[in-house]
Structure 1
Amino acid sequence: MSAHVQTDGQPVNLEATFRFQAIGADWEIDTEQRLPEKVPRRICSVTEDFDHVWSRFRADSLVTRIAHAEGGGRFEFPARDLALFELYERLVAASDGVVDPLIGRDLELLGYDAPVFPRPRHCRAREPLSRPLTLRHLP
């Protein structure tokens, strides 16, 4: 596959595209050269790991277990997510609570939940949708 895009007024010829689904979105990475085989595997591994903790669309995710825990409980998050919690604390404070990382239940009540918006359980290569989120790796 070859595509031409403009970067700072300069055309760039893109030769390879890696498409996948992860963390509730469709992704596309376009590069001038095909990614080394281990890179797409690593991307899928990282996004699968993140999804396993944070996806409210997965029955086996940590946040789904939290949502279904009657009476609350104690849950352990990966240490790598400490920075994410710190960021959310700053965003909640800066926005007077408008930014809320615990908005999932509110979205469910509005009809935006797993039965309406299912996602695959695993990162996998796929065909693009009409408007995927696109990342561009350009030198």
Structure 2
Amino acid sequence: MTTENKNIVQRALAGLIETGDVDTLAQSLRDDFVHHRPGSTTSTKGEWLAAVRAALVPLAGMRVEIHQVLADGDHVVVYSRRWLADTGPEIAVVDIWRIDDGLIAEGWEIIEPVAQVAANLVWWEPAQR
């Protein structure tokens, strides 16, 4: 099951990354799909697909390197590095996908600009006075 779940996610993302094909991605999502981001931001399938479509033009030419695809039961985790076109900033992204009945039911996404990694590693340290 975990191999099939990885394949579902990889097929969905490949179409989007390689061709910008949002419709193929949409076919991989359950009708009740929910996308989560930090800060309690969630969106429905329609809202998230609209946001993905709107981002296609500003993100055109973005380079994506997928470094890890890991599966455990009904969850698939994808770690990638992405660069905006024309030497734009590099970001590290972790996506977690939950699969249900052969479709993606939920997604979680964490994005961190690589240039801010050092500052983000010390968030727990007391402020310097």
Higher-Rg structure is 1
TM-score (norm 1): 0.29
